[in-house]
Structure formats: C-alpha cells, structure tokens
A and B are shown apart, each in its own frame.
Chain A
Amino acid sequence: MESTEASTIEPTVRSAQQGDESAQRELIVAYQRRVAGFVYAVTGRSDCVEDLCQLVFIKMVRALGGLQAPAQFEAWLFRLARNVCIDHLRRERLRRIFVPFAAEHSEVAEPDGAVDSEELDALRHALSRLRPDERALLALAQEGRSQVEMADITGTSVVVVKARLYRARERLREFYQPKNNHDS
C-alpha cells in the first residue's frame, strides 16, 4: 500500500481541523480503503470491517482538532485504527467468556466470494495464526509506516519494533502455505 505524500494531504488536514466538512469528507474518502484493509488484516473478519472503519473515522473527525502535527496525520490515523481494532478484539475475547458458543460463531468461515484466490486464502490463514499485535505490525509495515512511526504507534522502542516485526514476518512465512490450484 502506498502512503500518500504528507505535503499533499497537509492542507486538507488543516482545513478539516478547522471544521471544514468537505475536507473531512475528502480525508475519509482518501483513506477509507486503506483503513478497511488494515482493519481486515488485524481482525481477520470482513463482517466487522465497515463498523470498525466507521468508528475509526468518527474518532478521527472528533479528535482531529487535537492533532499537533498535520504532517503526521497518516501515522496518527493508523494509530487510531490500531487502537480501535485491538479494543474490538479485547471486547470480543471478554464477550466469549460470557456468551455461550460465541467462539464457535466467530470461527464461522467467511462467506463465499469473500476469498478470491489461493494466495489470499493462504495469507488470511497465516495472519489468523498470528497474535493481533503481530498482525497490526505487519499491516503497519505493509502500509509503509517507518519503524520509528511503528514504535510511536505501538508505544514501544524502535529496537523492540524491529525484533517483533522480524519475528512476525518469520511466523507469517512459517504459516503461509499457498495450495496449488491444480491440487485436488
């Protein structure tokens, strides 16, 4: 995923910060697919993508005024997205304690058509074997975030991010087993 140039998005961020609704809308349209991809990669579920994206962007609009450095908008937005996803997964884990069969329900396979290729299927399977923080790191790396930004987003040091990212990539490779289309 290519990150948008900070200089091109900065004026829009500034306008959005001043309450310009068209600028806020422009930001949502510009980032909605990337945030959706990030949310999908972290949660592993397509059925909660829209709800979580909506939550991310509502938080974005409401908190935009507090953003000190508009140039850091992307990193800030993905920190919001990461926090929303991690909170969601934490709530789901808690819910499973109290709701019978919730675990079984959450493991229902994705509906037909949601998975388009063997490679994507393998990627989803491999991601599902990783921990949420590992998935978030990989998705942030895929988003083109630097290790410094990742450290800032996850609230750790660059050294820790480097080590965790290396381990997450190794584990992803370990679980990534694409099947061949010709296999029976």
Chain B
Amino acid sequence: MKDENKAWRMLEQKAADQLRGDFAGRVLRAGRGPSDAAWSELYEVAGDQLRLGFADRVMRAVRRRVPSLAGQFAFGALVAAACVAAVIVVHRRESSRIEAQNLAQWQSFLADDQVMAYRQ
C-alpha cells in the first residue's frame, strides 16, 4: 500500500513538472481575457507609429486639389470626342485616298480598253 501511495505521488509530481512557471497566473489571465492595460499598450504602440507633424501632413493633403467627379467626367468625354473626331478624319482621308486610287486605276483600265478597241 505504501509503495502504491509513493507511486501515485511520483506520478502527480511528474505531471506537475509539466506545468510551466506561474501556471495559475497564466490560467487566470487567460480566463479574464486581455486587460485594459494591454489594450492601452496596443493604442500606445499604434499612436507612436504616427510621425511628428501628422496633422499638418493631413491638412496639406486635404488642401491639394482633387479633380471633381464632374471634372473627371468632362475630361473623359472630351478625350472620347477627340478620339471619335480623329477616327472620322482618318477614315475620310483614307476613303478619299482609296477612291482616288480606284478612279485612277479605272481610268487607266478604260484608256487601255479604248486603245485596244481602236486597234481592233
């Protein structure tokens, strides 16, 4: 019986040795969740990320003019209109060039035809 008790105590001791230091404290802290101090520290760390003169930088960025939505739309419409006009001009020029080329070919063909008819 004595040996059995001793064995149990040894087993308990072995199990207890597995627990790292301040086990109870850790369990209680985990059970309570993060303290206000931890949250405050988080906010402290975050606040320290803002470089000196943060407010001035924000105000400078605000003052920088941003094109309005209407302005952006008008600019887009202007670019689109310019593109369409360019396409129309290029198309017209190309069409008249091809037309002139075809006419010249036809005239040359007609002239050849007339020469052949005259010879016959």
Q: B-contacting residues of A (Cβ < 8 Å)?
A: 1, 21, 24-25, 28-29, 32-34, 36-41, 46-47, 49-50, 53-54, 57-58, 61-62, 114-117, 119-120, 122-124, 126, 142, 169, 172-173, 176-180, 182-183
Contacts and interface: CB of A to CB of B under 8 A. Distances in A.
Contacts of B34: 119, 122-123, 126, 172, 176
B62 A116 contact: no
A24 B42 contact: no
A37 B47 contact: yes
Q: Which 7 A-B pairs have the closest CB atoms?
A: A37-B43, A40-B46, A33-B47, A36-B46, A49-B49, A119-B38, A28-B55
Contacts of A142: 39
21 contacts: A21-B59, A24-B59, A24-B62, A28-B58, A32-B47, A37-B42, A37-B46, A40-B46, A46-B45, A49-B46, A57-B55, A57-B58, A116-B44, A117-B41, A120-B38, A123-B41, A173-B32, A178-B29, A178-B30, A180-B25, A182-B21
A183 B21 contact: yes
B50 A169 contact: no
Interface of B: 20-22, 25-26, 29-35, 37-47, 49-51, 54-59, 61-62
- Secondary structure at the A interface, as helix, strand, loop or mixed, is helix
Contact of B54 (A39, A53, A177, A183): A53
